[in-house]
Amino acid sequence: MDQAKPRHWIAVALQLGATGGLAALLISLVGMVEEFSKRYIIVDVLEMGQAMLLLILIATGYMTARRLADRPPREQLLASAVSGLVPAVMLFALVLLIEPLNLRSIMLNASPGLIEILTFGQTGIAAFVLMAAAGVAQALAGGVVPHLATRIRAPLVQAVAWVGLTGLLADILRVTFTNIPGASFVLGWMFGRGSGKGLSIPGAVVVFGLVAYATYRRQKRPAGAPGWRSRLDARKARLVNIGLWAAAAVILFLLPKLLGPYLSEVTNSVGLFVLMGLGLNIVVGFAGLLDLGYVAFYAIGAYVVGVLTTSAVGDQAGQIVWGPVMSFWLALMIAVLASVMAGIVLGVPVLNMRGDYLAIVTLGFGEIIRIMAGSDFLKPFIGGSQGIVQVGVGRIGGLVIFDKPQTLFYVVVAACAAAGFISWRLRDSRMGRTWKALREDEDVAQAMGIHLVSTKLLAFATGAAFAGLSGALFASKVGSIYPHSFKLLVSINVLCLIIVGGMGSLPGVFIGALALVALPEMLREFSEYRLLMYGALLIVMMLTRPEGLRPEATRRRELHETIGPELEPPPEGVATPGEAAASG
Amino acid sequence: MTTSVLIARKVTKRFGGLVAVDQLDLEIADKAIHAVIGPNGSGKTTLFNCITGFYRPEGGEILFHEHHLERLSSDRITRLGVARTYQNIRLFANLSALENILVGEHPHLKAGMFSAVFRLPATVREEEEALVEARRLLGYVGLGGKGDLLAKNLAYGDMRRLEIGRALASRPAILLLDEPTAGMNPQETREMTAFIRRLRDDLGITILLIEHQMRVVMGISEKVTVLDYGQKIAEGTPSEIQNNPAVIEAYLGRGSASAVLREAASSAR
């Protein structure tokens, strides 16, 4: 705090405590606590609803201690305790008031179930004492965190996070590994029995121990020390590289068999968003052109494939009047080309627009496409609000048919790999530099000899191509397409995932898609609260890590990285102190 | 008689009712160091923006060899061999110093989308050469070892030098420097002055320079043009300019010329 007169620690504790209390009240009253309490993280010990309250209280205590970082430790801990007491009091007040105020008639979620969770099943004074004790203990736990040495803190935080994550994803992990022979014994021991039961107690201990130990070991290695791979000579390093790629290929090949239909479906959804994320990353992340109508290209890709491959052609209701019933692969290529054309068509009128104006115009474009898709005027051709059904699927001869999630998986992975490869190569090329220069300062970029029109159109076209590909696969995946699949929310989702992952960062796209598409898909309780979680996540991200989870790294090219192995060292006379140090 | 590389004839640029550059004639001799001076708001930077295609003048013509710059966009002008720096440094802040220079090399690189994705041999070679050239330029402007820093993290003087390096990367025939020593201490100013002279002497680049520090202007330029209210009020060698009453009045206010000249004359005696 940079106020003239430092605030008393009680004031700080009360303020942050009230904030935490409001958050706790909110998630209780919107029904998250009760809804999520059906799923355990650690069986019979901790369920998800409790875990959310726990997280809020720990965060409250932690924030309080951090805010008072310049005060004596005793004051910090006292403040943390008080900041934990405040939410407890607020929740207790809620519990008391539900009956007399008949809150349930307004807030459906203020149910007996919620009360039981909040009060630990007690009533009266006993409930209050328990709640207060729990609140204080949890906030104190958070308040202690800043005082721990980094050596202990990092393993602890990592281990807790991993226990939480494995507990949340217990069902998926169990289903995934259950097909591996001999794994069922370990699985039965590590996870609770039945679905939604989370980790077993020994399982939680094992995960905690392993992660804590690994983090601890990793930390002990001095920063910048070479890993085992860089100690290998060139030939061995290449072998290791080949081995890793081969292993990745084998795992990818076997993955759909392990995952089963449902999880393959989820993976495919993630893949489609990765594709779109990679495309939008070029437009927004590289070239800095804020495109809010990105879903339009996704829709165009889907509709082109839909019209060209559907077998529901004729004059009956629910059928479109024209369709060549083309091969899926040919339609896929035409869909990508059509999206590219659309990208250029959209690009030309907005060439002179920047920032907010561009965002608004592209947003309008996205809506125009969606409304056109649902219009009666175009209904004979693209199905109107009844959409297009019986979209074709890809097949290779009569042998391989990509009609099930497990088989479509390979197509999606191939598409993502291609898009990722193209993005990566473009990023490190003259093209990528040009885009980034455009993002940084359009006028100066032009004064560097960069042709603005072609540069922008290339960005729009490449981004649109990826989205079109994604849309084409989407049409084949779901088998029928409707205008309401192409709402603005899709654009926003894609934008969110590249913001969360880190603007302009390729690994960030994958991480963002996992966080924003896979997690909500797999935690079915989330679905109702998806937007709420999005909002909270984005606010937290912007406050604590505005650069994203996996920000784009600056390429080190002056002294280290070269693009080809045959690059000669720079000629004499330009040797720098840094080079001398590096070679010596 | 040397030839002129850049000729401006009756260039006029208006902003609403304000005439920022008014019927200006200017000739820059080949391999000259030519300074443009004048009080704040006299139209110096506007002139630069007209030459480099940032603004389109309402009247007149700007000839670079046989090309009419007033009709071209800034990317075309750069490709012809006109490079510039900016008064308020405009680097690509979130790109590394090396990448800034690589962007500057843009006009001389050819790789398109396809060759970039498949790393065709020609593209790989081109990129390697570009990288070697960028490292060389980085060393040339005195930033060797700082190439991997983000431009926004460089020290102020380094930013100015990087901007010149980026401009040099386009291999210009004429370089327009907009207050290259602004905000520098005397030591840095001396180094920059020597550096500018080297650009001309070693690389044969014509320099057109906006400068406020009289010591720099008088020290390195062969010809000085003085602007006031968008009009040329004087032109000549530095010593001619120093004693020109119109210039002194423009800078110090009406009526002060006689006093200054008298003082100068008495001190010379």
User: Does the distance separating the beta carbons of B166 and A558 come in below 8 Å?
Assistant: no
Identify whether the C-beta of residue A54 lies closer than 8 Å to the C-beta of residue A137.
no
Q: Which pLDDT does position B98 carry in this prediction?
A: 95
- B10-52 confidence digits (pLDDT tens): 999 999 989 999 999 999 999 999 999 998 889 999 999 999 9
Q: Which pLDDT does position A577 carry in this prediction?
A: 38
**Measured between alpha carbons, how far is A295 from A279 in angstroms, rounded to an integer?**
11
Integer-rounded Cα Rg, in Å, for chain B is 20
Relative to beta strand B33-37, strand B206-210 is parallel
Is A350 strand, coil or helix? coil
User: Does the distance separating the beta carbons of A444 and B86 come in below 8 Å?
Assistant: yes
Instruction: Please state the φ and ψ torsions of residue A213, each to the nearest 5 degrees.
Output: -65, -45
Q: In this complex, which of B98, B106, B135 lies closest to A449 when CB atoms are compared?
A: B106
What residues of chain B lie within 8 A of the CB of A443, using their CB? 54, 74, 90
Q: Which two tokens stand for residue A118?
A: 């909040």
> Residue type for A459, please?
A
- Any idea what DSSP says for residue A147? G
Please, what's the b/e burial string for B141-167 (b: 16 or more CB within 10 A of its CB; e: otherwise)?
Answer: bbbbbbbbbbbeebeebbbbbbbbbbb
Find the closest chain A residue to B148 by CA distance. Answer: A556
**pLDDT mean across residues, chain A:** 86
Enter the pTM of the model: 0.86
Q: How many CB atoms lie within 10 A of CB A279?
A: 33
Q: Which residues 535-564 in chain A show a CB within 8 A of chain B? A: 554-560, 562-564
- B151-196 confidence digits (pLDDT tens): 999 999 999 999 999 999 999 999 999 999 998 899 999 999 999 9
Higher pLDDT, A558 or A551: A551
Higher pLDDT, A469 or A107: A469
The terminus-to-terminus CA distance of chain B in angstroms comes to: 35
Range of lowest pLDDT (A183-187, A226-230, A340-344, B263-267)? A226-230
- A302-345 confidence digits (pLDDT tens): 999 999 999 888 877 778 888 888 899 999 999 999 999 999 99
Q: Which pLDDT does position A4 carry in this prediction?
A: 57
Q: What percent of chain A has pLDDT over 70?
A: 92
pLDDT at A560 over 60: no
Higher pLDDT, B212 or A20: A20
Instruction: Pick from B51, B109, B135, B168 the residue to mutate for testing the A interface (most A CBs within 10 Å).
Output: B135
How near does any CA of chain A get to the CA of B92, in Å? 5
| CB pairs A-B closer than 8 Å | 152
Residue A491: which of A339, A277, A274 has the closest Cα?
Answer: A277
Q: Which pLDDT does position A229 carry in this prediction?
A: 62
What residues of chain B lie within 8 A of the CB of A437, using their CB? 92, 95, 103, 106
Give all strands of the β-sheet with B59-64 in edge-to-edge order: B18-29, B4-15, B59-64, B67-68
ipTM attached to this prediction? 0.91
**Measured between alpha carbons, how far is A229 from B62 in angstroms, rounded to an integer?**
59
In chain A, count of helices (H) and strands (E)?
24, 4
Whether the CA torsion A333, A339, A342, A343 is positive or negative: it is negative
Q: How far is CA A29 from CA A118, A416, A538, in A?
A: 11, 41, 21
**Measured between alpha carbons, how far is B254 from B258 in angstroms, rounded to an integer?**
10
User: Does the distance separating the beta carbons of B128 and A564 come in below 8 Å?
Assistant: yes
Query: Helical H runs in B204-255?
Result: 214-220, 238-242, 245-252
**pLDDT mean across residues, chain B:** 91
- A62-109 confidence digits (pLDDT tens): 999 988 888 888 888 899 999 999 999 999 999 998 888 888 888 888
DSSP string, A375-407: -STTHHHH-GGG-B-S---EEETTTEEETSHHH
Mean local confidence (pLDDT), B226-255 = 86
Range of lowest pLDDT (A1-15, A536-550, B158-172)? A1-15
Find the closest chain B residue to A458 by CA distance. Answer: B113
Q: Which two tokens stand for residue A362?
A: 């592209």
Polymer length of chain B = 269
Q: CB contact, 8 Å: A434 with chain B?
A: yes
Q: Which pLDDT does position A395 carry in this prediction?
A: 86
What residues of chain B lie within 8 A of the CB of A449, using their CB? 75, 78-79, 106-107, 170
Q: H or E element: which one contains B14?
A: strand B4-15
Q: Which two tokens stand for residue B61?
A: 């013509």
Q: Which residues 408-427 in chain A show a CB within 8 A of chain B? A: 421-422, 425-426
Q: How far is CA B150 from CA A37, A526, A542, A554, B154, in A?
A: 48, 40, 22, 8, 7
- A362-403 confidence digits (pLDDT tens): 999 999 999 999 998 898 889 888 899 999 888 887 777 888
Instruction: Pick from B86, B95, B103 the residue to mutate for testing the A interface (most A CBs within 10 Å).
Output: B103
Q: Calculate helix-pair angle for A328-347, A295-309, nearest 10 degrees.
A: 150
**Measured between alpha carbons, how far is A558 from B138 in angstroms, rounded to an integer?**
9
Higher pLDDT, A303 or A520: A303
The terminus-to-terminus CA distance of chain A in angstroms comes to: 47
Q: Which pLDDT does position B269 carry in this prediction?
A: 56
Relative to beta strand A400-402, strand A394-396 is antiparallel
Instruction: Please state the φ and ψ torsions of residue A396, each to the nearest 5 degrees.
Output: -110, 110
- A24-66 confidence digits (pLDDT tens): 999 999 888 888 888 888 888 888 888 889 999 999 999 999 8
- A222-270 confidence digits (pLDDT tens): 655 556 666 667 788 888 889 999 999 998 888 888 888 888 998 999 9
Higher pLDDT, A347 or A568: A347
Find the closest chain B residue to A435 by CA distance. Answer: B103
pLDDT at A194 over 80: no
User: Does the distance separating the beta carbons of A578 and B144 come in below 8 Å?
Assistant: yes
Q: Which pLDDT does position A574 carry in this prediction?
A: 38
Q: What percent of chain B has pLDDT over 90?
A: 74
